[in-house]
């Protein structure tokens, strides 16, 4: 693989090991409001979007969510992540390798900026990135391409020469819409719903962050 001009990372599930924590929190809360989802159902239909999109889908499926639910769940999520969210194993080695190779990198997430300030900030990572960008802040969350195009611009790189690292099909669709090559991080193997959806989009998978420097030729 040709060495990329810049690497553009999703945040949750790629840098921060937060997906399991937040999925359990949201599923439990949806069950309290009348929508019981299995982990498989939640993973298949609700991962990768914004909490606003989760609320829309949940209400369509029968959840009775109060006004202000999105703000409330984000508040609880931020408190949980501040206490418990660690980093994806191996991600610091990846960042070190990119630094050594002189390749810039940025974060492009669908999560809100204040959540990333908590999850990345608690580990002192924010200064390492050229930019930490939220599709919500831009007003065009994934699968729109805007946040990845903005991340490439922040790195001073031609989007077509960058590489996106994603774990969700929604994020991969944003990369494809931006005409940016993408690798799919499938930490739990190729048989999960997100991994199968990534493969259906033509996204190559890898299962360990320790493999990524080699895949990026750094």
Q: Mark whether 68 and 90 lie in a shared domain.
A: no
Chosen domain end from 49, 84, 119: 84
Using a cut of 0.75, tell me whether the model's pTM lies above it.
yes
Q: Which of 106, 93, 105, 122 is nearest to 18 (CA)?
A: 122
* The domain boundary residue, chosen from 38, 63, 84: 84
Q: What does the pLDDT read at residue 48?
A: 74
Q: 1 in a domain, yes or no?
A: no
Among the candidates 65, 84, 103, a domain finishes at 84
Give pLDDT tens digits for 85-140.
Answer: 899 999 999 999 999 999 999 999 998 999 999 999 999 999 999 999 999 999 99
Q: Which residues contact 71 (CB under 8 A, 6 or more apart)?
A: none
Asked if the model's pLDDT at residue 17 lies above 80, the reply is yes
Q: Do residues 73 and 97 both lie within one domain?
A: no
pLDDT at 191: 93
Q: Is residue 43 part of a domain?
A: yes
Count: domains in the chain:
2
Residues 164 and 190 in one domain: yes
For residues 74 and 70, what is the distance between their CA atoms, to the nearest angstrom?
6
**Which structure tokens are listed for 215?**
């895949």
Is residue 50 pLDDT above 90, yes or no?
no
The DSSP secondary structure of 180-195, one letter per residue, reads --EEEE-TT-TTSHHH
């Amino acid at each position: 693989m040709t060495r990329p001009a810049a690497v553009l990372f999703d945040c949750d599930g790629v840098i921060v090991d937060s997906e399991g924590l937040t999925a359990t929190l949201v599923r439990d809360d949806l069950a309290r409001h009348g929508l019981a989802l299995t982990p498989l159902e939640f993973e298949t239909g609700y991962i990768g979007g914004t909490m606003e999109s989760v609320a829309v889908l949940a209400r369509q499926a029968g959840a009775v969510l109060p006004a202000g639910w999105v703000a409330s769940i984000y508040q609880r999520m931020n408190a949980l992540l501040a206490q418990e969210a660690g980093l994806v194993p191996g991600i610091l080695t990846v960042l070190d390798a990119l630094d050594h190779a002189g390749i810039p990198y940025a974060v492009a997430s669908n999560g809100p900026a204040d959540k990333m300030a908590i999850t990345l900030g608690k580990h002192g990572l924010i200064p390492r990135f050229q930019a930490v960008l939220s599709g919500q802040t831009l007003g065009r969350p994934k699968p729109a391409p805007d946040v990845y195009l903005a991340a490439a611009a922040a790195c001073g790189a031609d989007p077509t020469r960058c590489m996106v690292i994603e774990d969700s099909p929604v994020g991969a669709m944003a990369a494809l819409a931006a005409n940016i090559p993408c690798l799919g991080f499938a930490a739990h193997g190729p048989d999960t719903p997100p991994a199968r959806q990534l493969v259906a989009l033509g996204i190559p998978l890898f299962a360990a962050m320790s493999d990524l420097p080699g895949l990026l030729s750094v």
